[in-house]
Amino acid sequence: MSNVPKFDLKELEVKEEIPGFFGGPGQKILNYPLSNHDAGVATFERRPWWQMMQATGASMFAPRIIPDNVARAFVFDGEGFMQTADHAINKDMFGVDWEYIAQVSGSMVRPGVPMLEDVADWKSVIKFPDIETWDWDGASKANAASLSKDNFNQMWFQTGWFERLISWMEFENAALAIFDEDSQEHVHAVFDKLTDLYIDIFDHCLKAFPEVHAFFIHDDWGSQKAPFFSPTVAEEMVVPYMKRVTDFLHSKGKFCELHSCGNIYQQVPNIIKAGWDAWAPQLMNDSYKIYEDYGDKLLIAVSPQGWPENFAELSEDEQRKYAREYADKFCNPGKPSFYNYYAASYLTPAFREELYIASRKKYSGDSL
pLDDT at 54: 67
Categorise residue 253: left if φ over 0, alpha if ψ from -120 to 50, beta otherwise.
left
Q: Does the residue 264 lie in any domain?
A: yes
CA nearest to 66, candidates 142, 158, 1: 158
Q: Does the residue 3 lie in any domain?
A: no
pLDDT at 16: 87
Q: Does the residue 38 lie in any domain?
A: yes
Distance CA 216, CA 218 (A): 7
Number of domains in the chain: 1
- The per-residue pLDDT for range 156-203, each reduced to its tens digit, is 999 999 999 999 999 999 999 999 999 999 999 999 999 999 999 999
Q: Looking at 23-27, 33-37, 175-179, which range is the least confident one?
A: 23-27
Range of the domain at 52: 9-363
Q: Does the residue 325 lie in any domain?
A: yes
pTM, to two decimals:
0.95
Would you say residue 286 has pLDDT above 70?
yes
Q: Looking at 59-73, 80-94, 265-279, which range is the least confident one?
A: 80-94
Q: Does the residue 2 lie in any domain?
A: no
| Domain CATH for 272 | 3.20.20.210
| Helix or strand holding residue 341 (H, E) | none
Distance CA 173, CA 118 (A): 8
Would you say residue 263 has pLDDT above 90?
yes
Q: Does the residue 21 lie in any domain?
A: yes
For residue 147, the SS3 value is coil
**Average pLDDT value for residue range 22-35:** 79
- The per-residue pLDDT for range 43-72, each reduced to its tens digit, is 999 999 999 986 557 899 999 999 999 999
Would you say residue 234 has pLDDT above 90?
yes
Q: Does the residue 319 lie in any domain?
A: yes
Starting at the earlier edge strand, list the strands of the sheet with 89-91.
89-91, 97-101, 106-109
pLDDT band at 121 (very low <50, low <70, confident <90, very high): very high
CA nearest to 204, candidates 60, 65, 64: 65
pLDDT at 165: 98
Q: How far is CA 366 from CA 39, 129, 264, in A?
A: 19, 53, 35
Distance CA 49, CA 339 (A): 13
pLDDT band at 23 (very low <50, low <70, confident <90, very high): low
Would you say residue 24 has pLDDT above 70?
no
Q: Looking at 20-24, 53-57, 311-315, 345-349, which range is the least confident one?
A: 20-24
pLDDT at 179: 94
Categorise residue 80: left if φ over 0, alpha if ψ from -120 to 50, beta otherwise.
left
Q: Does the residue 55 lie in any domain?
A: yes
- The per-residue pLDDT for range 304-325, each reduced to its tens digit, is 999 999 999 999 999 999 999 9
